[in-house]
Amino acid sequence: MAKMTCAEAIREALRQEMERDDRVFILGEDVGQFGGCFGVTGDLFSQYGEERVRDTPISETAIVGAAVGAAAVGMRPVAELMFNDFVTVSMDQVVNQAAKMRYMFGGKATVPMTLRMPYGGGISAAAQHSQSLEAWMTHVPGVKVVMPSTPEDYAGLLITSIRDENPVMFFENKVLYGMEGEVPETIEPLPFGKARIHREGDDVTVVALGGMVPQAMAAAEALAGDGISVEVLDPRTLVPLDVEAIKASVAKTNRLVVVHEAVKRSGFGAEIAAIVADECFDDLDAPIKRVGALNVPIPFNPILEQYVVPNADRIAKAIREIV
Amino acid sequence: MAKMTCAEAIREALRQEMERDDRVFILGEDVGQFGGCFGVTGDLFSQYGEERVRDTPISETAIVGAAVGAAAVGMRPVAELMFNDFVTVSMDQVVNQAAKMRYMFGGKATVPMTLRMPYGGGISAAAQHSQSLEAWMTHVPGVKVVMPSTPEDYAGLLITSIRDENPVMFFENKVLYGMEGEVPETIEPLPFGKARIHREGDDVTVVALGGMVPQAMAAAEALAGDGISVEVLDPRTLVPLDVEAIKASVAKTNRLVVVHEAVKRSGFGAEIAAIVADECFDDLDAPIKRVGALNVPIPFNPILEQYVVPNADRIAKAIREIV
Amino acid sequence: MEMEKDMLLNMYRKMQEIRIFETRVTELFAEGKIPGFVHSYLGEEAVAVGTCSNLKNTDYITSTHRGHGHLIAKGGQLNEMMAELYGKATGYCKGKGGSMHIADVDLGILGANGIVGGGFTIAAGAGLASKIQKKDDVTVCFFGDGASNQTTFHEGINLASVWDLPVVFVCENNMYGISLSQEKHQKIKDVSDRAVAYGIPGVTVDGNDVVAVYEAIKEAVKRARNGEGPSLIECKTYRHRGHFEGDPTNYRPDEEVQQWKAKEPIGRFRKKLLEMEVCEENELKAIDEEVADQVEKAVKFAEESPDPAVEEAVQDVYTDMIEEVWS
Amino acid sequence: MEMEKDMLLNMYRKMQEIRIFETRVTELFAEGKIPGFVHSYLGEEAVAVGTCSNLKNTDYITSTHRGHGHLIAKGGQLNEMMAELYGKATGYCKGKGGSMHIADVDLGILGANGIVGGGFTIAAGAGLASKIQKKDDVTVCFFGDGASNQTTFHEGINLASVWDLPVVFVCENNMYGISLSQEKHQKIKDVSDRAVAYGIPGVTVDGNDVVAVYEAIKEAVKRARNGEGPSLIECKTYRHRGHFEGDPTNYRPDEEVQQWKAKEPIGRFRKKLLEMEVCEENELKAIDEEVADQVEKAVKFAEESPDPAVEEAVQDVYTDMIEEVWS
Ligand SMILES: Cc1ncc(C[n+]2csc(CCOP(=O)(O)OP(=O)(O)O)c2C)c(N)n1
Ligand SMILES: Cc1ncc(C[n+]2csc(CCOP(=O)(O)OP(=O)(O)O)c2C)c(N)n1
Ligand SMILES: [Mg+2]
Ligand SMILES: [Mg+2]
């Protein structure tokens, strides 16, 4: 095991896959010598050169479209968008091309590409650079959606994403980039569709996504002092979703809070709540609570931003409402 | 009152607003002499000429972006996308520009534009021309989302959309275009955020969106024979949403089924279900059911398409599961 | 014409395959046999055939909503094609794609595309793969005059240009994007002028002259295979039918249609073959008959094929996950 | 230089406003006073000032992530600008926008934009509005060399061109998009070559010569006001700082930076003004001092201004709806 940040873990996973499989290559803006806007690709350029770590023009449409084309003919591109907010410029390539190609062609195409996208607030980057857009992607049949929260999971799930034969939307949290944790020297792929229980508890299940996992853990810790036992479940992948794990947890705790950084309205929390309201109705002893960002664009001023985006206090407050 | 189809009702609303307010103009592909891909703009070109009914190049990015710019400086553009599936090419203009301009500028901009988008299947148009993408838009703070189901509502809500000072996403169902109904000669604006109860009932509430309203009505009719009394509620606008009406109905029936044509996963049905699972928990006597398209792209073959998209039978089946 | 007889007759045959196939498709559509949209390639046969006659099996093409001609020219099988238009289980896409999404990845056909301009960046990506893999394969991206105003035109060609990717961008300028004539959708007369914006060669040819198309593409393909990067070739042509079957075509004058029909590519090529004594009339007639027969067989194949089983609807979304079915 | 002294001195003043404001901003950012990203306009002052000196109050501009210079040149107030960079309630956007989203619609400033290329189609829309309203207002769209590879460049300029909209597209070619030099992001040397693709005039000028910029834009603005449609003007310039404050700029050689700094626009213009005896040195000094004073006042204004109240966070999403607050 080695201690590394999430950003380093991602880079290590990229390195090991590039080493293992020469079909893997990277493309994106400033991913080369510059090392990536958040430093994630780092020294990969000096190791693999400009053929395999490709600096693109500022052309998100071309970045994703080229990844689709290259994947369809046998490569394994890993494309980086500088911010997930810019997927708006490549939505067609994701939604109408990557996601649907296999199906439209009657199963005769495979599109093994990974699209890495940093999301979330916390750095005063304002409305066009702070969104969390994973919910859109979960509404697109044909793509898988991954949203890890620890260095180990970033590494292992990125390996799985690259090896997957389908387009994978890989969401990376900007604030977590700097968070440290243990990662195996040789990174093993981690399975999609398997939740991780970060903390066991009996009174309430908190399903937290990505960057909200540490916040949920902090809330759980705080509430433990008051004798409230919180189970924190991180689904890790949204598509496929580990519905069984969520159901099992709710069957035990009989209460559910769902947390994500994306705006609350029509966030993926709604999907999880709706599944539980259908499939676990008899287990539920209390209303299902959702904690998400207020339904507003992310403001620039850090005080306003903190007010808009969820945190441990808000999660604790939501939990208290139902236990 | 006059009998007209939904398509005609939309055209009449456009005509009356163009007559009333010379800031209103139309832009889109083939909306001019051709009269629109689905014939909606019809003869408006011959009446108002090419300055106010503008045929654009095949450039969805420019269509929506130009609407944003024109709206920001005092016009009231009504832009048409030929299919809502092509909003993927203009997502940035909707999401990062139109929706956020006012907020980012501290309230100092207004963007009174309407974006009309046909959605849904039923015409064997396959995966890239049959989607129902309203849920994405409800996840974007700053836009309003309208989704009517009768000629009268299309007309009245379009008038309101055009007069609204904010960007409005106006979803039009392709199959409903041909459906007839009564529309007032002089169309009055209908309020946003007010649901319409199409049928009263005591045993179960069905919240149905857009093109699924007639299907829900058919299901209600079929079940009436078996003594099941179904209330059919059409929210008409998703943002703002008439939460009070939904709550009142669920308080009466204690059961909820939500229906839309969009794929089930992360559709707007999840949001409605999640709201009810939180705010009406004590009223609920049964699991909340959602009926949406299977989580697959829309297939070309009509038999497969019918299998994928919801209909009255499926709605009836879901209702039976909980009454 | 210093080309081999075989090659010339093959080009004639391919054009006739398209002509007869498409003619039959318009009839079948009118009879209600084919669901959805059909965009006929009638009149534009020389572009697909002149282009694809330069391609190997392992070369790639990206096609458009008006894609039947491209598929046939790249070697697509009439049976599977017709069956797909019918939405049958035996079709190229098992009935899931239809006219707008026919593909045969094994033949290098990366799909028709329902999104105007959908092919540009995919073609760049396929070219990129060939480059990284150090293969000499070339990708041809077909697109219309209307598509030259799409986002993807710009980003796709710029990427191919700056990375010297082996791609040939072939514009089928049929003078209209649905109802909008070229002068109403762009200020330029020749789409090939846009090559300047990317520092690549831009050429305009008579798109109804199959040999002219062949020669222009030949140059571009050579360049691409040599690692010298992409080119933009514009072929001026005309669609005989409306934008889609059912289009009233109230937007273009009758004389224009007549003028262009007089310049249609197959009759012209046929005349040339005979004038230049490449072959005898009866050789051409034999081809015509063979092709007509083949098309009828394809119709029969399609008609007799079964619809896909409804369970097929949930297959092929992913390679490894089956999405939930109705509860 | 047949221009009036007043005008020339005003141009000098505006450039100094930008220079001193931006210099101060880099310091304040380093001190941690300004949150978020800051993209400095230092070195590019002549482009904004040469351009906006042609504009009336009612003319529009669309700006970029590197927008401070555009705002000042179009008449933006330093107090409100600095306050916005600080995120204060008194800022142009009440602290909700910050550096990347400063706007003043009343001054015709349709916003800085955090999306590269975000301005192209908005500018076309503003131009369209002026045209429909039969006003003689012009819209200037500023953009970078990197932005010339975005989707919106193509669709926005094409639309403006085919509809003869009164828009001037002004490329600030500072030779880099973040770390990527122009030759790595496009094959062409002059972005203005892309004008050919839209059948509009394309001109390249020395972007560090404020008078040259002024003259080129003057022509383009005249054309636009006369209803003759858009132009594409490229101004070659250089950013003195990294892409954003904090950028290590490991991607460009020191000599290059030094060469360009030697050509920086304000010193050059100052020298010219004195050589041509437009004014005395002390007049310029007086301006320098006034501006420095103004900037310090702006800093003070910003520092002393309050943060917005948290309730502000839910205002201004819509004109008429307040979104729910924390339950
Ligand atoms: C992104 C997108 N916008 C609009 C359409 C609708 N549409 C289909 S074909 C077409 C015209 C295309 O014109 P052109 O590129 O010239 O090709 P042609 O049909 O003339 O062969 C349009 C507008 C679409 N399918 N995709
Ligand atoms: C759509 C989009 N892609 C990428 C970025 C990240 N980004 C911000 S500025 C920039 C470089 C812009 O280069 P250029 O247009 O030349 O302007 P300059 O910074 O040189 O003034 C990039 C890539 C963005 N903000 N928006
Ligand atoms: Mg065309
Ligand atoms: Mg630049």
CA distance C181 to D248: 51
Minimum Cα–Cα distance from B107: chain D residue: D316
What percentage of residues in chain A have a pLDDT greater than 90? 100
Question: Could you tell me what percent of chain B has a pLDDT over 90?
Answer: 100
Please say whether the beta carbons of A318 and A289 come within 8 A: yes
DSSP state of B171: E
Q: Which chains touch B (3 or more CB pairs under 8 A)?
A: A, C, D
Q: How far is the CA of C64 from the centre of ligand 1 (A)?
A: 9
pLDDT of residue D327: 47
Nearest CA to A234 out of A278, A190, A274 is that of: A190
Give me the mean pLDDT over the B47-64 stretch: 98
For domain A196-322, the question of CATH label 3.40.50.920 is answered with yes
pLDDT in tens, C245-256: 999 998 999 999
Contacts of residue B248, defined as CB under 8 A and 6 or more positions apart, other chains included, come to: none
Average pLDDT over residues D270-299: 97
Domains in chain B: boundaries = 2-183, 196-322
Q: Is D186–C200 a contact, with Cβ atoms under 8 angstroms apart?
A: no
Instruction: Indicate the residue of C152, C186, C196 with minimum beta-carbon distance to D193.
Output: C196
- Chain C residues lying within 8 Å of D145, measured CB to CB: none
| Cβ count within 10 A of residue C251 | 19
Q: A129 an active-site residue?
A: yes
| Ligand 1 atom nearest to C177, measured from its CA | 13
- Do the bridges between strand B289-293 and strand C60-62 make them parallel or antiparallel, or are there none, so unpaired? unpaired
User: Which residues in chain A touch residue D318, judged by CB atoms under 8 angstroms apart?
Assistant: none
Which structure tokens are listed for B293? 């398209």
Q: Is A75 on the interface with C (CB under 8 A)?
A: yes
Mean pLDDT of B228-238: 98
Judged by a CB distance cut-off of 8 A, whether residue C152 touches chain D is yes
DSSP B164: S
Q: How many Å lie between the centroid of ligand 4 and the Cα of residue D92? A: 26
How far, in Å, is the centroid of ligand 4 from the Cα of B111?
29
Which residues of chain D make contact with B107, given a CB cutoff of 8 A? 94, 315-316
pLDDT of residue C326: 55
Q: Is D176 in the pocket of ligand 2 (CB under 6 A)?
A: yes
CB contact under 8 A, A297 and B142: yes
d(CA B253, CA B245): 12
DSSP D109: B
CB distance A105–C93 less than 8 Å?
Answer: yes
**Two domains, one topology: A2-183 and A196-322:** yes
Distance CA B295, CA C96 (A): 15
> Which chain D residue's Cα is nearest to A89?
D151
Neighbours of C33 (CB within 10 A): 15
Write the class of the CATH domain D5-326. alpha beta
In this prediction, residue C3 carries a pLDDT of 79
Q: Does D322 touch chain C (CB under 8 A)?
A: no
Per-residue pLDDT tens for D146-158? 999 999 999 999 9
**Separation of alpha carbons D91 and D97, rounded Å:** 9
| Separation CA B262–CA A266 (nearest Å) | 13
* Cβ distance of B30 and C178 shorter than 8 Å: yes
Q: Is the pLDDT of residue D323 over 90?
A: no
Put simply, the answer to whether A307 touches D179 (Cβ < 8 Å) is no
CA separation for the pair A54, A52 (Å, rounded): 6
For B171-184, b/e burial (b = at least 16 CB within 10 A) is: bbbbbbbebebebe
pLDDT of residue D3: 79
The span from the CA of D219 to the CA of B232, in Å, is 63
Query: Above 80 in pLDDT, residue B183?
Result: yes
Interface of D with B in 286-315 (CB under 8 A): 315
User: Scanning every residue of chain C, which has its alpha carbon at the shortest distance from the alpha carbon of B297?
Assistant: C317
Nearest to B73 among D95, D113, D129 (CB): D129
| Ligand located closest to C116 CA | 1
Residues with CB under 6 A from ligand 1: B 29, 58, 60, 82, 86, 89; C 65-66, 114-116, 144-147, 172, 174, 176-178, 243
Closest CA to C13 of C207, C292, C262: C292
- Across the interface, of D151, D307, D308, the residue whose CB is closest to A61 is D151
Indicate whether residue A29 lines ligand 2 (CB < 6 A): yes
- Contact status of C35 with chain B (Cβ, < 8 Å): yes
Domain boundaries, chain C: 5-326
* CB distance B287 to B255 below 8 Å: no
Q: C147 C-alpha to center of ligand 1: Å? A: 6
Interchain CB contact of D69 with A (< 8 Å): no
Reduce the DSSP state of residue B280 to 3 states and report it: coil
> CB atoms < 10 A from the CB of C203, how many?
17
Task: Provide the β-strand partners of residue C170.
Answer: C142, C233
User: If DSSP states are collapsed to H, E and C, what string results for chain C?
Assistant: CCCCHHHHHHHHHHHHHHHHHHHHHHHHHHCCCCCCCCCCCCCCHHHHHHHHCCCCCCCEEECCCCCHHHHHHCCCCHHHHHHHHHCCCCCCCCCCCCHHHCCEHHHCECCCCCCCCCHHHHHHHHHHHHHHCCCCCCEEEEEECHHHHCHHHHHHHHHHHHCCCCEEEEEEECCEECCEEHHHHCCCCCHHHHHHHHCCCEEEEECCCHHHHHHHHHHHHHHHHCCCCCEEEEEECCCCCCCCCCCCCCCCCHHHHHHHHHCCHHHHHHHHHHHCCCCCHHHHHHHHHHHHHHHHHHHHHHHHCCCCCHHHHHCCCCCCCCCCCCC
* Chain D nearest-CA residue for A122: D36
A62 touches chain C (CB under 8 A): yes
Query: Average pLDDT of D308-312?
Result: 96
- Please state whether beta strands D180-181 and D176-177 pair in parallel, antiparallel, or not at all (unpaired): antiparallel
Of B141, B266, B273, which has the smallest distance from its Cβ to A296's Cβ?
B141
Q: Is D154's Cβ below 8 Å from some Cβ in C?
A: yes
User: Which residues have CB under 8 Å from B308's CB, separation 6+?
Assistant: B121, B293, B294, B296, B298, B299, C313
Residues of A in contact with C125 (CB under 8 A): 65-73, 77
CB of A127 within 8 Å of a chain D CB? The answer is yes
- Single out the residue of B263, B273, B179, B197 nearest to residue B236, CA to CA: B197
What pLDDT was estimated at residue A62?
98
- For chains A and B, count residue pairs whose Cβ atoms are closer than 8 Å: 144
Among D38, D99, D178, D181, which residue has the most ligand 2 atoms within 8 Å of its CB, making it the best to mutate? D178
Cβ atoms of residues B292 and B225 within 8 Å: no
Question: Looking at chain C from residue 226 to 265, which residues have their Cβ under 8 Å from any Cβ of chain A?
Answer: none
Residue with tokens 């101060």: D24
What's the pLDDT score for residue C321? 86
One-letter amino acid for residue D180 of the chain: L
The answer to whether the predicted template modeling score (pTM) of the entire model surpasses 0.90 is: yes
d(Cα D273, Cα A261) in Å, to the nearest integer? 55
Smallest CA–CA distance from C91 into chain A, residue: A106
Question: Per-block average pLDDT, block size 10, for chain A (323 residues)?
Answer: 97 98 98 97 98 98 98 98 98 98 98 98 97 98 98 98 98 98 98 98 98 98 97 98 98 98 98 98 98 97 97 98 97
How close, in Å, is residue C151 to chain D by CA atoms?
A: 4
**Per-residue model confidence (pLDDT) at position D322:** 83
What is the CA angle B292-B298-B304, rounded to 5? 90
State whether residue B93 sits within 8 Å of chain D by CB: yes
Does position D230 have pLDDT exceeding 50, yes or no? yes
CA of B92, closest atom in ligand 2: 1
ipTM rounded to 2 decimals: 0.98
Tell me if D84 sits within 8 A of D95, measured CB to CB: yes
The response to whether residue D145 sits with its C-beta less than 6 Å from ligand 2 reads yes
Paired strand residues for A168: A114, A144
Examine the pLDDT at B3 and tell me if it is beyond 50. yes
Q: Is the pLDDT of residue D326 over 70?
A: no
Looking at the CA of D65, name the nearest ligand.
Answer: 2
What's the pLDDT score for residue C327? 47
pLDDT confidence of residue C324: 62
Give pLDDT < 50 ranges for chain C. Answer: 327
| Any atom of ligand 2 within 6 Å of the Cβ of D116 | yes
Q: pLDDT tens across B119-148, in order?
A: 999 999 999 999 999 999 999 999 999 999
Cis ω on the peptide bond leading into residue B240 (within 30° of 0)?
yes
Of residues B160, B75, B159, B66, the one with CA closest to residue B110 = B75
Indicate the pLDDT class of residue D234, thresholds 50, 70 and 90: very high
Is there a contact between D97 and A126 if contact means CB atoms under 8 Å apart?
Answer: yes
Is residue D176 a contact partner of residue D239, using CB atoms and an 8 Å limit? yes
For chain C, say whether A109 makes contact (Cβ under 8 Å).
yes
Say if domain A2-183 classifies as CATH 3.40.50.720.
Answer: no
Closest chain A C-alpha to B16 CA, distance in angstroms: 33
Closest C-alpha among A105, A17, A114 to residue A68: A114
